[in-house]
Structure 1
Amino acid sequence: MSLLDILLELCKGVVYTVIVTLVCSMTGLVVGLLLSSLHRLSIRSVSFLIDIYTYVFRGVPVLVLLFLVYFGLPGIGIKPPPLMAMALSLGLVAGAYLTEVFRGAFNSVDPAEIVAAQAMGMSRIQVLRYIEIPQMLRFSIPGMINEFTSVLKYSPFAYTVGIPEITKEAMTLTANTLKGIDVYLMVGVLYFVIYRILLLGVQLIQKHYEIPSMKEAAV
């Protein structure tokens, strides 16, 4: 079996790898944006709960949490499908990290702009929506890229719950061909290609929404 044949077989799992990565990344993005925005409103009881969430989920290993969700919840009558189990484990862990990324980015917003917006009669929610969040998202792009990369690297855990992504295909191929070096070399190539494509997509989005003054400063 040639390297090309191995690569073509592994490509069967690429779609599942991309789906897992996108679903978990979007879950983390939504959770992180929601929780960091709520924390920004400085409601003491809510902020305390958010701090507990980020503290716990950043400290729990992804694989342990995945097993707890997929194999543990059926014991109480809840049986999540594999993709949902990934979103409830890897997605929520990513959400905890992105919450902290967004909180740091919020602190980069010029306080004078917030005061000016409030002086114009904007409510706290309006200031958050129209002034703080758009700027925060621009400031947090490097942190988001790092976290999305981590999600991609953790996506092979999906094979443990039956999702036939690249790693699952690689294990099957290795058992059938006994060419472990060739198989996992191609696995590395595929993950690198997926990473570069996703990174290119994020960079195009970043360039589209970049602040004009920042473009001029870069030149």
Structure 2
Amino acid sequence: MIDFSLLGELLPAFGAAAWRTVMLTLTGLAGGLVVGFCFHALRETGWRAAAWLYWGYTGIWRGVPFLIHLFIVYFGLPNAGISLDPFAAAGLTLAVYGGAYFAEIFRACWQSIPRGQIEAGRCMGLSSRQIFTTIECPQALRASLPLIASQTILLMKESALASVITYPELTMTAGKVVSEQFVYVEPYLLLALSYWGLSLLINRAARALRTRSAL
């Protein structure tokens, strides 16, 4: 039996935790897009060393579980004299972790552009930079929006692991309620609804951006 009065009591705490989850996800998203685009641009230079660096980065960060990366950043960096609070450690890890996936998204979307359009740009006398900014970027970024939205949702769900290093996001808040009040259904129901609601918002924002970019 669900205690609706308890749900009401828990809403303020979960609202604050949801906001912290959003801030952590946005940090990972913004940082990940920058890191991913930079590595993609590096790969596009055609340098062999850049290609090796790209594949090494994406291979390691996509091939190792997020939690392991988080532990290395949070517990390992202090050994090098760099101490990060839970938010900074989780945000940095999400950004670099997400960047590996965003880099692959950008690579796939750039490869989907018809080569004829690029050749036509060259025939018109456009420089490589002009082709990149006027032909490739608009099409590739528009095509990448659904994939970026899906990856953002995955980053949001990965952010639940920040509870392991005591960042008070949604999952840690639910666990705290369970340990203090010995109730299970209500906090985990709110937890599930919170993540579902945030996923819907991300998808809605992505659709709005895609519609706007198509105008």
Q: TM-score band (shorter)?
A: over 0.9
Contact 2:25 2:91 in 1 (8 A): no
- Of 184-193 and 123-132, deviating more is 123-132
Number of equivalences:
211
Q: Superposed, which structure 2 residues align to 1:1-219 within 5 Å?
A: 2-210=6-214
Over residues 25-84 of structure 1, what are the superposed CA-to-partner deviations in whole Å (9 max), with x where a residue is unaligned? 111111112211222232222112111111111011111111100111101111123233
Calculate the TM-score normalised by the size of structure 2: 0.92
- Cα displacement (A) at 1:101: 1.2
State the secondary structure of the residue aligned to 1:206: helix
Consecutive aligned runs of 4 or more in structure 1 exceeding 4 Å deviation = none
Letter in 1 for 2:190: M
Unaligned ranges ≥5, structure 2 = none
Looking at structure 2, the residues matched to 45 and 11 of structure 1 have their Cα atoms a distance apart, in angstroms, of 47
| TM-score, normalised by the number of residues in structure 1 | 0.91
2:37 & 2:114 partners in 1: Cα distance?
19
- CA gap of 1:44–1:123, structure 2 versus 1, over 3 A, is farther
Q: Which moved more, 1:11-20 or 1:163-172?
A: 163-172
Cα RMSD of the aligned pairs, angstroms, is 1.5
Aligned partners of 2:170, 2:130: CA distance in 1, in Å? 44
| Corresponding residue SS for 2:155 | helix
Question: In the alignment, residue 23 of structure 1 is paired with which amino acid?
Answer: T
The AA in structure 1 aligned to 2:147 is G
Partner of 1:217: none
Which structure 1 segments of 5+ residues have no match?
A: 213-219
